[in-house]
Every structure is written in C-alpha cells, then in structure tokens.
A and B are shown apart, each in its own frame.
Chain A
Amino acid sequence: MIRFEQVSRRYPPDIAALLDLSFEIGAGELVLVSGRSGAGKTTLLKLIAAIERPDSGKVLVCGQDIGELKSALIPFLRRNLGLVFQDQKLLFDRNVFENAMLPLSIIGCPAKEAARRVRAALDKVGLKKRERALPAELSGGEQQRLAIARAVVHRPGILLADEPTTRLDPASATEIVTIFRDFQQAGVTVLIASHEQAPFAARSPRRLLLERGTLLAEPDSGLSRP
C-alpha cells in the first residue's frame, strides 16, 4: 500500500528531514511512526499525501509514484487519504457538522447521503450531540475527535494522523487510540505519527522509530523500545 525506497527529503539550507528511508506498509496495517520532535515524522506523512515531494528515492502510494505524480492528479490521490493534521486545521467559523462535511463537499457527495455519512462519522467519535456546536466550544479531546471524524467521513483507504494524542489527557488519548484500532479493523490502513508512546503501549502496534530522519527500529513491535 505504502512503500518508501531510499527516500530523502532536505529542507534549505541544509536540513535532512529524512535520509535514505526505506520501509513498506501493507493494506490494513496500523503503524506508529515515533521519534522525537524534529525526527522527520511529519515530513514522512507529508510525503505520502504529496504535500512534500522526495528529493531522491521513491514514495509509492497505492502503486503511484509520488515524485512523478502530476500536480493535477494530486487532489485525486488525496481523496483516498484521511488526514489528521498536527494543528488540526478546523474551521472556526463553521460548526461541527459543517467541518466534518468538507471532504464530502469536495467529492461532490449528494446532500442527503452526505448528511447521513457526517452523522455516522460524528457518531463514531462520540460527537453526534454536538453537531451544531462551534469548534471553539469543544474541549481539546472533542476537537481532536472532530478532526478524526473529518478525516474518515469520505471513507479513505489510508488514514494519516499527525500527533493525534498530543495535548490530550491520558483518558482522551486512549479513547482516540481505540478509535484508530476500530478503523484498522474496518480495513483502513492507519499511520500515526507521535512523539508519545504511552497512549499506544497497551495496543503495541508495529512501530517505525525515526531519529534525525533515519529509521532506527523496525519492524518487531512497539515493545522493542522504552
């Protein structure tokens, strides 16, 4: 599903965010990309979504080479992805329902069907009763769950979540990890980038450990490192 072949990405002036990175993730896997802040986790996710392009090496997503992908085709790649951004990117002048609706508007889903799907997604993350609320009226955990609902409402094959548990209390973090597990069980390939380990310890997913842009530990299990 996702394949990195000796991928490097440098930022000017001379920062190697990722260096010679190779790994493969199969369909339906749940993978934790961990490492300290600045290790290159966000860059890795951005490469998959074609928000960044590799300087060298190959990034293959569903068989498509991101480095070669024409700009005009990028939107169509992204419609098969669900993105949970590190900074969430909620629209604060729209209510919960409208925020979750955005990906469906983009694919041109008919209004009735869209409303049904938005409610189902909000229900999944426990926000069904808050659909008229504005994001500013939500707690941190609720905002994060809204971001997740928006990421899955169009039923993407791949879910990419950047620091989804950061800024959350342990109980909320655990809830969110459970939600990701459920998506994986439903067949979605899930990648979670996080500098935290605790929320995932109980689930022991496959883990890619990054350090300064290179892969340290693969593939065993989440228990291989403290």
Chain B
Amino acid sequence: MIAALQALLTRNVHALNWALRRLAAAPLASLISLLAIGIALALPAGGQMLLGNTLRIAESFGVRPQISLFLAADTDRRTAEATGARLKNHLRVREVRFVPRGETLKRFQAREGLAEVIAVLSNNPFPDAFVITPRDDGPAALEQLRDEFSRWPKVEHVQLDSDWVRRLDDLLRLARAGVALLAVLLGLGLVATTYTTIRLEMLARRAEIELSRLLGATDVYIGRPYLYLGALQGLLSGLAAWLIVLAGTLAVRGPLGELPGLGSLQLLSAQDSLILMGFATAMGWLGAALSLFRQLRNTS
C-alpha cells in the first residue's frame, strides 16, 4: 500500500518535472505562447474586473439608488418619529433623511407656477417623507425593501428611484453575459491551442511512447506528463492574464487617481483571481486530455 502510494508519487513528480523541463527547454517559445494565450484571457478577466468596479464607478459620478417613503397625510408626529427610528435601525438601510411635510411645502412654494396652485389649497397637501439609501443597491434588494416598507403602518407609498438602477442592471447583465461568452470562447481557444501543442509534442516523441507501451507503461502513465504540461501551460497563461490585468489596473489608477472611484479601482478579487487560474488550468488540462485520448487511441 505504502509502496504503491510512493510509486504513484514518484510517477507524478517525474511527470511534473518533465513538464517543467519541457517548458524551460524552449523558454522563449514557451513565453511567447503563454503571453498570446494570456493576452486573450486578459480580456474576460479585465472585463470581470471592470464589472466588479461598476458600482464604484457609478458612485464616482454621484449616482446612488434611493427609496422614497411617503407617510399617510394624517400620520401623527409620534408615528412619524417611530417610523424614522425603525428605518435608522434597519439592518439593510445605510442612511435615512427625514423630509418633513413643511419643508416640502416650502420647496414647492418657491417654484414658479406651482406657488399659485398650492395657494389655492386650504392646507398642506404634502405628507412627511423619508429618503432612504439602502446598503445593497441591486434592483432585487431594492424591490424587496419597497415591499417590506409598504406593509408598515401609515406608509402610504414607497417609490424606487430605480429606473437608472434597472437600466444599469440590464447593462451589467449584458456585460456579464458578454464576459462569460468571451471566457468560454477564449477558453475553447486555450483548449484548441493545448490540443495542438500536445499533439505535436506526442508526435515528436512517438518512438518513446511506443517503446514505453512495450515496456509495460499504461496509458495513464504515458499521458500523465502531457496532462501536467497542458495544465501547467494553462496555469501559466492564467497567471500571465492576471499580471496583464494587474498592470492595466495600476496603469489606469495612476493618471485617473484624482477621479473619485477610478482612483480606488479595485484589483481582481481573490475569488475571481482563483477562478481565472483554475479555469485556465482546467482548460489546458482538458486540451491535453482530448489530445491524449485521440493520440493514444490511434496508436494502441
């Protein structure tokens, strides 16, 4: 049992070793092909980075979704205060501003044209209101909050200033689909590239593969170094893409540093970075595996 594990470990170390030496044997060629794939992968990775920053960017232009809550006209002061306190303590509310009905009246009276209309009315037609900035400003969260607030006592109407949020969300959704599509396409490109690389590699080493078979090598043994090579190429391409995105982010941060939001442009999140590397590694491995499957079946 221990001997079998040790044998497995030895074989894996051999295979990884071989793959590393294979890349190091032609450093320039390896670097160029890694960069080519890296640049391609940098597109969706960079897109993902920008997506992660959209809210930041939107905020830098001073837009932030809000909810307006209007109380019923006959609401007494205590209920109004209680509602205000309840909003302030609400976990999903970031900020609340109370707009008393008197203030609204004054604002409307100041407006030309409206002043006369209001003067006709015997008493103040405006209700007390709150302007709420939620913590989570995704459209779904906003709508959930609206529904919740509507059920509160003496709440007459809750309004989302969510038109632009919805539009931005639609755009984001489109952009996310675009990034995903790009990632899939370029991932397929990575699979195809690795497929070809491994095919050529195996053709160049056909004699050795044939011989290994005759000496009792299993397909798993024969294939292992190529799987490592494919996965390694994928991983390094992913790393190249990550570095390109990093360089791009830092480059944008510099000159735009004064712009709020852009100056604090965040790098790819740790999770996205891991996904990028994992995806690239998996695609490289897959390309190698497909290639192996074909080659080994053809030669057995």
Contacts and interface: CB of A to CB of B under 8 A. Distances in A.
B211 A89 contact: yes
Interface in B187-220: 207-208, 210-218
Interface of B: 6-8, 10-11, 14, 207-208, 210-218, 221, 300
A104 to B, nearest CB: 10
12 contacts: A75-B213, A75-B221, A76-B216, A89-B207, A89-B210, A89-B211, A91-B207, A102-B212, A102-B215, A106-B221, A108-B8, A109-B7
Interface in A68-121: 71-72, 75-79, 81, 83, 85, 89, 91, 102-103, 105-111
A74 to B, nearest CB: 8
B215 A91 contact: no
Contacts of A103: 215-216
In the complex, the 4 A-B pairs of residues with the closest C-beta atoms, listed nearest first: A108-B7, A78-B216, A79-B216, A75-B216
A83 B214 contact: yes
Contacts of B213: 75
- Give the interface size bracket for A toward B: 20 to 34
A81 B216 CA distance: 9
Interface centre among A77, A79, A83, A105 (most CB of B within 10 A): A105
A102 B217 CA distance: 10
A168 B90 CA distance: 94
A75 B217 contact: yes
A30 interface: no
Contact of A75 (B10, B207, B210, B218): B218
A81 B7 CA distance: 19
A78 B11 contact: no
A66 interface: no
A103 B216 CA distance: 8
A165 B8 CA distance: 37
A51 interface: yes
B18 to A, nearest CB: 10
B10 A110 contact: yes
A78 B10 contact: no
A96 B14 CA distance: 18
B214 A51 contact: yes
A184 to B, nearest CB: 21
Contact of B7 (A75, A83, A85, A107): A107
A111 B9 CA distance: 11
